[in-house]
Amino acid sequence: MLNRRIFLVMTATSLLAAAGRLVRPALAQAADGRASAFVKNIGDQLVAVVNGAGSDRDKRAQLTAIIDGAVDVDGVAKFCLGRFWRNASAEQQQRYTQLFHQVLVNNITAKLGEYRGVRFTMGRSQQRDDNVVVSTVVERPNNPPTNVDWIIYNPASDPKIIDVIAEGTSLRLTQRQDYASYLSRNNNNIDALINAMRQQVGQAG
C-alpha cells in the first residue's frame, strides 16, 4: 500500500535569476542550501547502507533509524488519511500512525537486493511555498535513471522529508488516493483500513 520507487536523495543549490538581475532573498537561498545539504547527507547515508556489508536485518535497522530522523512520518501519515483523519478517534489515529510507520519501512526495505549499486546525482533546489524542492537523478544497475524530487518541510531549522515525487508522481498523493479508494469500498470504516494495514505488515514480517 505505501509506495514502490523510494530511494534516494538529492540536490545542489541553484541561484535562480530571471529577466535580468533578479536576486533571490538571502533567507530563501539559505533555506535552499540547508535543504540541499540535508538531502545530500541523508542520501549518502542511505546509499552507504544499501551498498554496504551486513545482513538485510542489520540494514533494515539502519534504514529505519535514518527514516525516523529524516521523514516527518506522523505528518505524512495524517496527510495520507486526508479528511478521514478528522473522523478517526484518538485511539484509531494512534494505531493507524503506528502501522503507517511500519508499512513505510517495509516498503522501503522490502527489496534491498534490487537497490545494490544505487547512486544518485544532485540537481537543483528551489523554494515552493514554505517548502524546498530538491531534485536528483537516481540510478540503479540495469534500470533507466529516475528523476526524483524530494519535498523538504521546514528547511531553515528542522528539515524533514514530507513527499517524494518520482517521475512526476507524488508518492504521498498516490497513497492518499489509495486509502480513500479503499475506504470508499468499505463504508468509510477506518478500522477496516487499520486491519488491512495490520495484515500487510504481518505478511511482510
- Its sign, for the CA torsion 150, 154, 158, 160, is negative
> What pLDDT does residue 32 have?
76
Instruction: Establish if 197 belongs to a structural domain.
Output: no
Instruction: Establish if 169 belongs to a structural domain.
Output: yes
> What pLDDT does residue 115 have?
78
Report, as ranges of residue numbers, the positions in the chain whose pLDDT lies below 50: 1-27
Instruction: Establish if 122 belongs to a structural domain.
Output: yes
Which positions ≥6 away from 2 have C-beta within 8 Å? 100, 103, 104, 106, 107, 171, 175
In tens, the pLDDT along 153-166 reads: 988 888 999 999 99
- In angstroms, the CA 195 to CA 99 distance is 10
Instruction: Establish if 191 belongs to a structural domain.
Output: no
Instruction: Establish if 194 belongs to a structural domain.
Output: no
> What pLDDT does residue 29 have?
58
> What pLDDT does residue 30 have?
64
Q: What is the pTM of this model?
A: 0.79
- In angstroms, the CA 70 to CA 98 distance is 17
Instruction: Establish if 196 belongs to a structural domain.
Output: no
- In angstroms, the CA 66 to CA 184 distance is 34
Structural domain including 41 reads 26-186
What domain count does the chain have?
1
- CA 93 to chain CA centroid, Å, is 20
> What pLDDT does residue 164 have?
93
State the CATH number of the domain containing residue 46: 3.10.450.710
Instruction: Establish if 5 belongs to a structural domain.
Output: no
> What pLDDT does residue 31 have?
67
Instruction: Establish if 195 belongs to a structural domain.
Output: no
